[in-house]
Structure formats: C-alpha cells, structure tokens
Amino acid sequence: MSQFLYRPAKASDLARCVALFRQGGSRGALLDQALLTQLLSEHVLAIACVFEERRFDGTATVWGCGFSAFVTPEVAARACRGEIPDLVNTLMYSHRGPAPMLLGRTEQARLNAAGEMHVVMLNFVIDDSPEAPAAEIDMVCNKAFLMTHSGYGLRTYFMELNDRERKTPALRQSAMAMGCKTAPAPEGATAHVYFLEEPMFSEHPFHALRMLFRRRTPRLGLAPAQQDLLVLALRGCPDEEIASELGITWNTVRKRWRAIFQRAEQALPGLLGDPPATGAGTARGTEKRRPLLSFLEEHPEELRPWLSAH
C-alpha cells in the first residue's frame, strides 16, 4: 500500500530531479545541480515540487518533479516575440551573470500586487521507466500543477518544448488543444515557446486553466514564514514534519500557528468559527485549523508573495 502526493522540493531532492531530467532528455541548466540549489535557496524557483510515493514501510520514492519561475513584464514581452532563444537555459543561466532574469521573492511580491505575474514552466518530468506507477503519478502531477500555479492571477503562462525530450509530442498536442500561441522561432529550431495570455479567458470562461488567471487580493496579510508553514499544512503534514521541513523547532511551529490564528481572526472575524461562550474556554488549535485550511484551499492567493503599495 502506498500514498501518492506532491510536496515542496528540498535541496536533498535535487540530485534525483537532475537524474529524472537527464532521463527525459533535458540538457543544460536543468542538469546543473549547483545552479538548481542556488535558485531554490533564493526562492527563485517559486514553484518547485516533487511527486512522491510514500510506502507504509517508511520508504519513499520521488517519481517526478516540476519547476516554474517568474519573469518581469519586459522579459515576458520579449519571450512572446521570440526574442529570447533557448528560453529556459537563458533565463536560468542569467543568474550566473550580472543581470538575473528570474525573480526572487521580493520582486514576485511587488509584481503580484501590481497584477503583473508572468510565469515560465522551466520543466517537469515523470519517470517513464517500466516500474514507475505512471497512472498514480500522472494524477498527482495534474493536481500539483493546478494547485501550485493558482492564486497568482497570471497574466502570461509560458512553456518551452524541446524536440530532444521524449514528452514533447504529447505536450505539444496538449498545448495546441489548450489554445496556446506559439512564439516566432528561427527555421529549423528544435525548441519552441508556447504561451497563454489572460485576455483569452474572457472568451473562454470555462477553460480548464481559467483558475490560474483569476485575480483576487489576499485579505489575511500573512508573512512569508507563515505562508511556508501553511503550504505544508495544506499538504497534510503534521507539525513534527513541518518543523523538520522548515528547519525550525516544534515550539516555533506552535508559535507560528498562534500568530496565524490571531492574524486570521483580526482580518476576517468569524473565519475560525464563533468565539466560545463565556466560561467555555478557548477553541483548541486543531479546531481552528480545519476552517482555516478549508478557506486557504479556496483562496490560494493568501499563500502567494504580495507586497502592498501602501
């Protein structure tokens, strides 16, 4: 018996991720573990998750992973015009030079508040070896994509497909079925950029990816450390695992929960339930978590970087 899930990627996952990318035919920056480690530690890999099988004997296997990052409106416009050849490698390797093109958390927060979020799917891969549980991991991958890319109110979504990668024919067919535009490319190019833009969804309100482009202002005003905790809690992680994943103590986890509850009660009175009757004591933390996590599942914008202009 096994449980299949997705979770945020850690530095210790990256060797496996590189092996999977190599197996799938990727090249260049995605095979550079040191670069991936740098981008992950700097929160430049804003969306980085692994698809994992956890067995009840305590063992686990990462069967796939996916990474996405954000760019400025100017870089997005150039990508739409086909002016950035070898897009993914150019974006990633730019962080070894004086003018990095992918955004850190502070810039993500600023542009999110400005309504200018442009995301590039750097790549994703699923192990295609015979022993891989393909159907189960594919289901997890689809859910992970929708959940991790929602809440940003995207303006543009990009993906680059390279003919060297085995998954490209299926993904190209999917991209065209979704209505993606194709950026200009030189004759004979082996890599092509496909993209979706927010305006198209006014004509296609029931598009499967509409939720990625829905824009809502967060109301809770959560700090980044609080958001990191809640992302793990939404994946079903107990407090002990949250502490381990974030490199903090269990007592710190408890303090963060209390601060989160206080913030939620101030911002949205009644969100965590009615206050207890006089003499009935206070609601336990576990009782407050259920309505909070249910709210966050419907409002992923609360977990995304946001920097108010005021």
Higher pLDDT, 217 or 201: 217
Shared domain for 152 and 272, answered yes or no, is no
Q: Which of 213, 245, 267 is the last residue of a domain?
A: 213
- Closest Cα to residue 23, out of 154, 162, 99, 127? 127
Sign of the torsion formed by the C-alpha atoms of 34, 40, 43 and 45: positive
pLDDT band at 226 (very low <50, low <70, confident <90, very high): very high
Asked, for residue 308, whether it belongs to a domain, the answer is no
* pLDDT tens digits, 115-143: 999 999 999 999 999 999 999 999 999 99
Shared domain for 28 and 149, answered yes or no, is yes
Please determine, for residue 309, whether its predicted confidence score (pLDDT) is greater than 80.
no
Shared domain for 206 and 289, answered yes or no, is no
Mean pLDDT across 221-243: 95
Shared domain for 173 and 68, answered yes or no, is yes
Question: What is the DSSP secondary-structure string of 87-154?
Answer: HHHHHHHGGGSSS--S--HHHHHHHHHTT--EEEEEEEEE--STTS-HHHHHHHHHHHHHHHHTTS--
Shared domain for 138 and 259, answered yes or no, is no
Shared domain for 28 and 172, answered yes or no, is yes
* pLDDT tens digits, 134-173: 999 999 999 999 999 999 999 999 999 999 898 999 999 9
Mean pLDDT for all residues in the chain: 94
CATH of the domain at 22: 3.40.630.30
Range of the domain at 199: 2-213
- Closest Cα to residue 227, out of 44, 105, 141? 105
Shared domain for 59 and 89, answered yes or no, is yes
**pLDDT at residue 281 in the model:** 44
Q: Domain tally for the chain?
A: 2
Shared domain for 84 and 50, answered yes or no, is yes
Q: Count of CB atoms within 10 A of residue 194's CB?
A: 21
Asked, for residue 123, whether it belongs to a domain, the answer is yes
Mean pLDDT across 84-113: 97
Asked, for residue 15, whether it belongs to a domain, the answer is yes
Asked, for residue 41, whether it belongs to a domain, the answer is yes
Mean pLDDT across 78-88: 97
Asked, for residue 54, whether it belongs to a domain, the answer is yes
The Cα 304–Cα 217 span in angstroms is 10
Mean pLDDT across 259-271: 97
Q: What are phi and psi of 304, to 5 degrees?
A: -105, 150
> Which pTM does this prediction carry?
0.92
Shared domain for 160 and 251, answered yes or no, is no
β-bridge pairing 118-126 and 156-162 = parallel
Asked, for residue 219, whether it belongs to a domain, the answer is no
Mean pLDDT across 174-198: 94
Shared domain for 147 and 264, answered yes or no, is no
CATH of the domain at 286: 1.10.10
CA 184 to chain centre: 27
Shared domain for 171 and 59, answered yes or no, is yes
Asked, for residue 289, whether it belongs to a domain, the answer is yes
Shared domain for 151 and 181, answered yes or no, is yes
H-helix or E-strand spanning residue 63: strand 60-71
**pLDDT at residue 279 in the model:** 47
Q: 67-76, 168-177, 205-214, 268-277 — which is least confidently predicted?
A: 268-277
**pLDDT at residue 169 in the model:** 92
The Cα 248–Cα 234 span in angstroms is 18
Asked, for residue 24, whether it belongs to a domain, the answer is yes
